[in-house]
Structure 1
Amino acid sequence: MLMEKVAEILAEASAEAVEPRFRALAAGEVLEKAPGEIVTVADREAEVIISRRLRELLPVPVVGEEAVAADPSLARALSTEPACWLVDPVDGTANFVAGRPDFAVMASLVRAGRTVASWIYQPVDGVCYSAELGAGAWRDGQRIVRQPAAPEPATWRGSVKSRFLDPVLHHRLQTNARVFGEVSAGRRSAGMEYPQLADGRQEFILYWRTLPWDHAPGSLLVTEAGGVSARLDGSEYRPEPPGGLDGLLVACDPAVWDRTQEILLGAAVH
């Protein structure tokens, strides 16, 4: 019941606060919340709706992206509370503002520092991805099981998210990535990128900045579909407050994770 109810909450909040403003944002409805970071009234209104309804469903703290922007101390709940909700009301805000369809509405449930359930709703396509720890990954109720990739890296498709990389590491990654079949800069929305990997449209993604509301939903989706989401030293990804570890490599299967880490970064990364 929980899985279905949260999916309904995301879709209904999107229909109320997000979709009516897609390609229809008025003057003054787009603001800068930090240098280079924008927020819209759709983000803020959707987060209020989602947070209220999630608390009604399960009364634990909500760590929402926009609430944390106003009060960073709220993120401590991820490490101090037995359980909390994570909410990203519009993942891919820059795409949303630009009128591009690559954005999603996302939520996760975290218990004892681990993501135990997650939801990614893609409003333009009306598609919902969900995952439950130990129970599998789903796309609109259909089970997702990711098949292992072909063994040759030259056939693999991936993304290297380079926005927050220092110039030296950026150059190193771009040079090493030439052995792969196709490497893109991604779609500027984790809520679009993780499902691509789970669905079989991509083999790996390398992220640097790992804000918890961006990565908890997709990481669980990918791992429950048979993939791997791990820090660059191989340790398991767990959502934590902003300002912690950087770097996350996500792959469709363990062999691809190992080989991609070796090619891009070398075995000595710590």
Structure 2
Amino acid sequence: MTATLTDQVAALMREVAEKAILPRYQSLASSEIIEKAHDDLVTVADRESEVMLADGLARILPEAAIVGEEAAHADSAVMDRRGADLCWIIDPLDGTNNFARGKAPFGIIIALAAGGVTQAGWLWDPLGQRLCHAELGKGAFVNGERIDARPTGEDKPVAAISTVFMDEAQRHEVQRNVAPHFRLVDIPRCAAEQYPRLALGVNDVSVFQRTLAWDHAAGVLWLNEAGGMAARIDGSPYRPDQDGTGLLAAASPSLFEKLAACIP
């Protein structure tokens, strides 16, 4: 039997995690952790994982362009490939700050886009052995089981809001406008974990300021396919080939609207 695309991608993610990421978990030397920018780390595991993933994905779909986080950091022209007819988008180690400190969560995220529209996405949690995947128009799955997004059901919906990349004024606005209507909780600093939390009854809504394709293309598709809603603040679709800031994600369209009404 021919392996499906998801079978092939999932097998590659597991293999790379086992060879390049998990052996270094809680055993990184200080020389293997580099600060790319303020509060933005890269490790030897990120770089090795990206090379292995890019090689493997090129074998699966040789015709697809590849945009990897670390390659794009080294050469910004890589970002121009996002609108290609077919394009792999790779986050080789999402949650690097956690990983570098020997903490969970962290994961691998891969998306496949065509003409700037995400067609499929995969989020792999190596510690929890959880695969979230979706294909456009075909629903969302966790370890092969189709799922529907569910809110927490709390009287005051739970908001996990990333303020890391907001300025002081933006943080103040969030506190003033969102906090009265939602219960604010910490974020995991890992999109591979945050998107599942929004569909699996842990969190109700999230706000993301920085919206890089490797962090969000797969998760946005997966949450939307689960029946939640992830989009730009004005409700327009998120596209991995477009730059910009500001993204809202919610366990349901009604929760999205409730959150959007709180954003100036």
Report the TM-score when normalising by structure 2.
Answer: 0.94
The CA deviation string for residues 97-122 of structure 1, in whole angstroms up to 9 with x for no partner, is 11111101110000111111000000
Q: Tell me the CA shift for residue 259 of structure 1.
A: 1.1
Q: Equivalent residue for 2:187?
A: 186
Which residue is equivalent to 1:169? 170
Q: Which residue of 2 aligns with 1:260?
A: 259
Kept in 1: contact 2:151–2:200 (CA 8 A):
no
Quote the residue 2:233 is aligned against: 232
Contact 1:157 1:180 in 2 (8 A): no
In the TM superposition, 1:187-266 aligns within 5 A as 187-240=188-241, 244-262=243-261, 264-266=262-264
* CA positional deviation for 1:235: 0.5
**Counterpart of 2:125?**
122
Q: How many residues are aligned here?
A: 260
**How does the TM-score come out when normalised to structure 1?**
0.92
Q: Kindly indicate whether the alpha-carbon contact (under 8 Å) linking 2:152 and 2:202 is maintained by their aligned counterparts in 1.
A: no
Q: Aligned pair 1:70/2:74, yes or no?
A: yes
- Give 1:147 deviation, angstroms: 3.5
| Residue 201 of structure 1, CA deviation | 1.4
Indicate the SS of the match to 1:265.
coil
Q: Secondary structure at the residue paired with 2:210?
A: coil
For the residue of structure 1 that corresponds to 2:245, the secondary structure is: coil
* Equivalent position amino acid for 1:169 in 2: Q
The root-mean-square deviation of aligned C-alpha atoms, in Å, is: 1.4
Q: Which residue identity is paired with 2:91?
A: D
Whole-angstrom CA distance in 1 between matches of 2:172 and 2:114: 38
For 2:108 and 2:39, how far apart are their aligned partners in 1?
A: 21
1:137 CA drift (Å)? 0.6
Q: CA deviation at 1:90?
A: 0.5
Structure 2, unpaired ranges of 5+? none
Contact 1:209 1:246 (8 Å CA) reproduced:
yes
1:178 CA drift (Å): 2.4
Q: Deviations over 1:161-216 (max 9, x none)?
A: 11111222210111222234521231111111001112121111000010110001
Runs (4+) of structure 1 moved beyond 6 Å?
Answer: none
